[in-house]
Amino acid sequence: MASGSKDAGPKKRRVTEELRSFQDKWTMNYFFVEFKTKPICLICNNSVSVMKEYNIKQHYEAKHANKFDKYKGQFRQDQVNNLKRKLSAQRQIFTRADRVNMLCKS
Ligand SMILES: [Zn+2]
């Protein structure tokens, strides 16, 4: 039967997984969205290779905070929505190139 010794405790479990997933608040805070498991900046469309708030915040503060910090609340949400729409429109251009071709002759 079992004695009092316990040497094989489940010690390996950590909360690193949580650090690796995109958090919705980053969109409002730093204008980032998740795209193909990477965080991508809505403003300049650059991706940040590490899924960490620290890196994302750094990018935002270094490049965009002076311009975008003035947008608060609903204005910020509007900016986010605008940029999101632009980004998805851009991406659709690649997949719908032939259809755009038809629309473009005028
Ligand atoms: Zn950016």
- 64 pLDDT above the threshold of 70: yes
Q: How far is the CA of 74 from the centre of ligand 1 (A)?
A: 21
pLDDT at 88: 84
In the block, residue with structure tokens 């755009």: 100
Task: Give the model confidence (pLDDT) of 28-55 as tens digits.
Answer: 999 999 988 899 999 999 999 999 999 9
Burial 52-76 (b: 16+ CB within 10 A, else e): ebeebbebbeeebeeebeeeeeeeb
pLDDT at 20: 73
Confidence tier at 1 by pLDDT (50, 70, 90):
low
pLDDT at 18: 53
Query: pTM score > 0.75 for this model?
Result: no
- For residue 93, give Cα distances in angstroms to 20, 65, 79, 98: 30, 29, 21, 9
Q: How far is the CA of 28 from the centre of ligand 1 (A)?
A: 13
Q: How far is the CA of 56 from the centre of ligand 1 (A)?
A: 9
